[in-house]
Amino acid sequence: MKKRTIMVCDHIHESGLKMLAEQSDIEYINVADLPKDELLKVIGKADVAITRSSTEVNEAFLNAAVNLKALVRAGVGVDNVDIEGCSKRGIIVMNVPTANTIAAVELTMAHMLSCMRAFPYAHNHLKLDRVWKREKWYGYELKDKKLGIIGFGNIGSRVGIRAKAFEMDVIAYDPYIDPSKATDLGVEYTTDFDDILACDIITIHTPKNQETIGMIGKEEIAKMKEGVVLINCARGGLYDEEALLEGLKSGKIRFAGIDVFSKEPATDHPLLELDNVTVTPHLGANTHESQYKIATQAAQQALSAARGISYPNALNLPIRENEIPEYAKAYLELMQKIGFLAAQANAGVIKSLKITGEGEIGEYIDSLATFAAVGALKESLGENINYVNAEFVANERGIEIHKQQFPATGPFKNKITLRLTTEQGVMEISGTIFNENVQRIVEINGFTLDVEPKGRMILFKNTDVPGVIGDVGQILAKHHVNIADFRLGRDKKGMALAVILVDNDVKEEVLRELDSLSASVYVKYVIL
């Protein structure tokens, strides 16, 4: 089988590179140090590319990337990615939307505190000028100040939580959320933008698009109270920088905390000349923790895409349900993984797929069926199957697709199940999502388990007799296969099913030796 090529175009944390390098079925090429004009000469080798802000995914890039199937933007912003151009070429674009959330939240709070206490200037006055002059540095407290938050998503909402801990009054403006997302946190919600403009401190946490570019300009600043403090740790250009400069010079804006600029690097920006601005060079994601998470999540997404398993956080999936909520998207991804797992574990000509959705997720049964079909058929059809043609190909092959939806009756608010039937038998797998994005397989062929659908797995069914776990462990140890996790399910018929997650590739001889155990019913090996 031809190895898929993942090309890393920009620098990411070593942890992500190590993850890619360890994969035996992947050819990994790191071209982060290559000049961008040289990158265009080699990007044609890539099946999947990982980029950051330094690489412009424009027409020239896409014309050169003739084999590209997917692109992972290692970070949140995709301002430098021509998503429409990617879609026209069938390239799926993914980002890593939550890895740097806490880093950006904490930087926002740091700027807010620095502005209110003029911290950098007091620091420099003492440390650089060696002047001890306490009376020069009277600041302001956050307590009882009114904070206006524009954009109340992953970052904005967490800023709100922390601001409440400082005993601030918090008001949120975000026309794209359910008001309860704010009010449940004790935050006031408004649909009147003027309510935000009347706040003591305003911070912005929106994406950069036609609606948000320059959304705080001269007119908006004119409506603000005297001495307002503005924070921007989101995207350069959300504040009109000329209007911001004018407001800071006039004193209308007492202080501003800025991490991002319209054009970067911004080493000669006029804002740097002012003494009522705290600035940082786009450090929103610059913590060791966030860089580790960004790199490992981007690498995992690239691996899943290269193997055709799933496309986490895809921004342009060719599926019609454009208004699917975030919680449902997690179930769609899980369903595709379940389909891929079931097809590997129950190898053979697929006869039928039965998709069940219990709870609210049942409303998206058609989409669940599409993703299940893609996952199940990927094992046999590879790149020839996609979200557009999946059900058509299934029908063409005589595969019956059955869909059922039920209200939630068990312990889970939402549960999805795929029953895949081949001439070899039946594989039925159920899964759910915990805490919004934690994927779990909770049942396999009637055995209750709790398994993360990720990596290399051995499915070992056996008669439930003493000594089996020890025998399995000894065989794997003998072949230097390290066990990462061991999950066991038992039924009332004297049977057990173990799902063993391992760190190494498992050779056929290991599987044969496991199957030779007297207690063995079957052994399956799958890779997600």
pLDDT tens by residue, 239-248? 999 999 999 9
- For residue 67, the domain's CATH number is 3.40.50.720
Decide if 482 is inside a domain: no
Distance between CA atoms of residues 499 and 490, nearest Å: 12
First CA to last CA across the chain, in angstroms? 16
Q: Is 288 a catalytic residue?
A: no
- Yes or no: say if 253 and 244 are a contact pair by the CB < 8 Å rule: yes
Same domain, 88 and 114: no
Q: Is 517 contained in some domain? A: no
123 given a catalytic annotation: no
Q: 400 with 351: CB under 8 angstroms? A: yes
Does 7 share its domain with 68? yes
| DSSP annotation of 314 | B
- The answer on 136 and 258 residing in a single domain is yes
Q: Are strands 146-150 and 201-204 parallel, antiparallel or unpaired?
A: parallel
Query: Which of 235, 254, 269, 307 does the annotation list as catalytic?
Result: 235
- On whether both 256 and 146 belong to a single domain, the answer is yes
The residue range of the domain holding 24 is: 1-97+285-316
State both tokens at 406. Answer: 């039920």
Residues 82 and 155 in one domain: no
Per-residue pLDDT band at 503 (split at 50, 70, 90): very high
- The answer to whether residue 320 scores a pLDDT higher than 50 is no
184 assigned to some structural domain? yes
> Does residue 38 fall inside a structural domain?
yes
Q: What's the chain's average pLDDT?
A: 92
Spatial contact of 369 and 403, defined as CB atoms under 8 Å apart: yes
Higher pLDDT, 322 or 503: 503
**Cα(442)–Cα(451) distance, integer angstroms:** 7
Residue 122 belongs to a domain? yes
On whether both 259 and 127 belong to a single domain, the answer is yes
Identify whether residues 143 and 273 lie together within a single domain: yes
Domain membership flag for residue 58: yes
Whether 125 is a known active-site residue: answer no
> Is residue 496 included in any domain, yes or no?
no
**Does the residue 57 lie in any domain?**
yes
SS3 state of residue 110? helix
Domain boundary among 223, 252, 279: 279
Q: What is the pLDDT of residue 526?
A: 93
- How many domains, in total, are found in the chain? 2
**Whether residue 257 sits in one domain with residue 244:** yes
Q: How does residue 400 score in pLDDT terms, banded at 50, 70 and 90?
A: very high
pLDDT at position 243, please? 97
With cut-offs at 50, 70 and 90, classify the pLDDT of residue 499. Answer: very high
pLDDT in tens, 414-468: 999 999 999 889 999 999 999 767 899 999 999 999 999 999 999 999 999 999 9
Q: Are residues 80 and 152 in the same domain?
A: no
Over residues 169-213, the pLDDT tens digits come to: 999 999 877 789 899 999 999 999 999 999 999 999 988 877 789
Within this chain, do residues 221 and 312 fall inside the same structural domain, yes or no?
no
Residues 57 and 83 occupy one common structural domain: yes
Indicate if the pLDDT at residue 29 is higher than 70: yes
Check 11, 89, 282, 440 and give the catalytic one.
282
Report the C-alpha gap between 434 and 455 in whole angstroms.
19
Mark whether 275 and 136 lie in a shared domain.
Answer: yes
The confidence band for 321, taking pLDDT boundaries of 50, 70 and 90, is: very low
Catalytic annotation, pick one of 59, 84, 141, 264: 264
- pLDDT band for 322, please (50, 70, 90 cuts): very low
